[in-house]
């Protein structure tokens, strides 16, 4: 029996036990996580572009007239730049693996990182099913890799004339894990850009067995045409907005929630 690789973040996990979705032998991710991750990869090109607007520091950093230290401030904001670099590294890494797998044209080089991200996403998006099915791939300097599963290789030569020993961190990463890592980059970019989906609180009590908390929330759909989801902020149990309105009288009475618990 396989469980969804998303683990505790699985979108189909059991509301009470928090166990990820149960899958067949040839699956690595549940359908919900697969579809959501695929959509997230598609948005990485836009994320990389939109992060550009966060690179420039506020004008006050340069012109507020206050005395400065002898160390000059960074000319750009380092967090958005590091996030851009992570998007470039992960997308091109998996795109090159898929390129080798399908014997596609070699990646363009040398090009700007933004163009490389656009090329990489264009390779990955139509081949997500292939990516998810890939076994462990040997990748170098893969930041999201588990430190316990990384092998570090490096030169033993001392630092001479400013040249320091170079180390390479190698790890085996499956394609399914790579897809989740790409989706996580989209989530981080969305948060950095302040584009998280609005969530509002609703009146009533959760009717899930063992819960009964007054922590109902409604998350706005991320795609046009999708139905809003009402969920409990404590146990995660979710229902549709139509069901919430249909049984609103039950949710608004605490005794029913206590009886259900």
Look at phi and psi of residue 162 and say left if phi exceeds 0, alpha if psi is from -120 to 50, else beta: left
- Domains of the chain: which residue ranges? 2-61+74-131+176-192, 137-173, 199-260
Say if residue 63's pLDDT is above 50.
no
Confidence band, pLDDT 50/70/90 cuts, at residue 70:
low
- Per-residue pLDDT tens digits for 95-150: 999 998 888 887 777 888 889 999 999 999 999 999 999 889 898 888 888 888 88
- Per-residue pLDDT tens digits for 214-252: 888 887 655 545 667 787 777 767 788 888 887 766 766
Pick from 126, 132, 129, 123: which is nearest to 98 by CA?
A: 123
Question: Residues with Cβ < 8 Å from 247, sequence gap 6 or more?
Answer: 207
Whether cis (ω within 30° of 0) applies to the bond prior to 180 is no
Place of tokens 């190698």: 170
- The pTM score is 0.67
* Coil, strand or helix at 14: coil
């Amino acid at each position: 029996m396989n469980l969804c690789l998303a683990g505790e973040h699985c979108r189909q996990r059991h509301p009470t036990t928090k166990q990820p979705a149960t899958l067949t032998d040839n699956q690595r991710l549940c359908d919900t996580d697969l579809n959501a991750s695929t959509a997230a990869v598609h948005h990485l090109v836009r994320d990389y572009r939109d992060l550009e607007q966060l690179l420039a520091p506020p004008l006050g950093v340069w012109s507020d007239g206050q005395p400065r230290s002898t160390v000059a401030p960074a000319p750009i904001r380092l967090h958005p730049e590091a996030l851009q670099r992570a998007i470039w590294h992960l997308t091109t890494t998996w795109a090159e693996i898929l390129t080798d797998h399908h014997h596609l044209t070699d990646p363009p080089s040398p090009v700007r990182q933004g163009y490389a991200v656009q090329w990489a996403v264009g390779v990955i998006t139509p081949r997500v099913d292939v990516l998810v099915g890939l076994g462990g791939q040997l990748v170098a300097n893969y930041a999201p890799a588990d430190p316990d599963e990384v092998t570090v290789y490096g030169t033993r030569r001392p630092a001479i004339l400013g040249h320091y020993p170079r180390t390479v961190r190698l790890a085996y990463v499956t394609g399914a894990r790579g897809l989740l890592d790409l989706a996580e980059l989209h989530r981080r970019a969305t948060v950095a850009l302040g584009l998280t989906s609005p969530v509002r609180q609703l009146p009533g009590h959760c009717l899930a067995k063992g819960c009964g908390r007054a922590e109902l929330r409604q998350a706005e759909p991320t795609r046009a045409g999708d139905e809003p989801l009402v969920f409990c902020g404590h146990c995660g149990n979710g229902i549709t907005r139509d069901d919430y309105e249909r049984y609103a009288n039950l949710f608004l009475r605490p005794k029913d929630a206590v009886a259900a618990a």
